[in-house]
Structure 1
Amino acid sequence: MLFYFNDSSALVQASAWTPTHSHHWLRKYPNLIAQKQIYKSNQVWVSDITYIQIKENFAYLSLLTDAYSRKILGHYLSENLSREGPIEALKMAIRRKGQSYVTHHSDRGIQYCCKDYVDILNNSFIKISMTENGSPYENAIAERVNGILKHEFACNQAFGSFTVAKNFIDRAIKNYNGIRPHMSCSYLTPNIAHETEETITRKWKNYYKEKVK
């Protein structure tokens, strides 16, 4: 499959709000994947944090998704917005990546810019890419996956406890990877798309370039 990263169809239908803080002094990195051609698994990973409601409070789900196959490779539910959640999701993904040379793309949140997170990326020979102007188009696939989990797999409900939420989300992600076909992956599920060596073709047209003219 050969496509450009700014596909408008990847935008989530839900709110684009994300619980990250990008106004900080830590180093921010350029966007390396704008107009990048993505043609295989473990070429580009996209990362994001979304909120999960637990009674009157929130927990925070860190997700790391393969941009080609749409497979969620790493996830972690945290009770706060510390660096722990993204780091644990990243470690889970790294354990699966093998010898691939990956580009990691995220927003400019402090969790992704902190030294511990950047050190893990550098030590794993993973290139660092970040959004530059705050547009949801710059991290569209990550936003889209957030929306699928919430609206198709019922992760937008108010859970009764952190443990209930964690167990439910673990099952939802397993089901998402195993049973949810994507038009962008020739109607393959993420698990199958991630492992296939055949060329994957999209089943929809990219209208984004026409809209922004």
Structure 2
Amino acid sequence: MGYALGKTLSPILTIAAILDVISKRNTGNLIHHSDQGLQYCSNDYIKILKDDHIEISMSDKANPYDNAKIESFFRTLKVGEVYMFEYETFNDVADRITYFIEERP
């Protein structure tokens, strides 16, 4: 799993996340599934996936059921972390999200 944190949703953020994945694992036979958000459709993002031989899969428009696992993850993240705390700074958010993803039991 790879992730990146930012204050806006942009292709730069998703590129950072996929480069995180690529740096951590062998991407042979990997399928990248996402919704059809603009950040996932950017030419630069798609080029990175294709250059690393990562198969691209996208859900139908407005159909969260095609990507149920990640939708479930984000619900768990929101309920188990985001809604539980009041963050004062972006660094607080980054620290807590990193803890939630990488360290919590």
Query: Are residues 1:107 and 2:47 paired?
Result: no
Instruction: From the two aligned structures, give the one with the greater helix fraction.
Output: 2
Q: Hey, what does 1:66 align to over in structure 2? A: none
Query: Are residues 1:92 and 2:20 paired?
Result: yes
Query: Are residues 1:77 and 2:36 paired?
Result: no
Would the alpha carbon gap of residues 99 and 76 (structure 1) be closer, same or farther in structure 2, given more than 3 Å must change?
A: closer
SS of the aligned residue for 2:70 comes to: helix
Q: Hey, what does 1:155 align to over in structure 2? A: 82
- Give the aligned residue type for 1:83: P
Q: Hey, what does 1:116 align to over in structure 2? A: 44
List runs of 5+ in structure 1 lacking aligned partners.
Answer: 1-72, 180-213
RMSD of equivalent CA atoms:
1.4
Identity %: 32
Instruction: From the two aligned structures, give the one with the greater strand fraction.
Output: 1
Using the TM superposition, give the Cα deviation of residue 77 of structure 1 relative to its aligned residue in structure 2, in angstroms: 0.9
Residue-pair matches, total: 104
Structure 1's consecutive aligned runs of 4 or more residues displaced over 2 angstroms after TM superposition are 155-158
Q: Which structure's CA Rg is the greater one?
A: 1
| Mapped contact 2:27–2:54 kept (Cα < 8 A) | no
Task: Normalising by structure 2, report the TM-score.
Answer: 0.90
| Mapped contact 2:28–2:53 kept (Cα < 8 A) | no
SS of the aligned residue for 1:74 comes to: coil
Report 1:40-59 matches (<5 A): none
Query: Are residues 1:142 and 2:88 paired?
Result: no
| Mapped contact 2:31–2:57 kept (Cα < 8 A) | yes
Task: Normalising by structure 1, report the TM-score.
Answer: 0.46
| Mapped contact 1:75–1:89 kept (Cα < 8 A) | yes
Larger RCO: Structure 1 or Structure 2 (Cα < 8 Å, ≥ 6 residues apart)? 1
Q: Hey, what does 2:56 align to over in structure 1? A: 128
Using the TM superposition, give the Cα deviation of residue 99 of structure 1 relative to its aligned residue in structure 2, in angstroms: 4.9
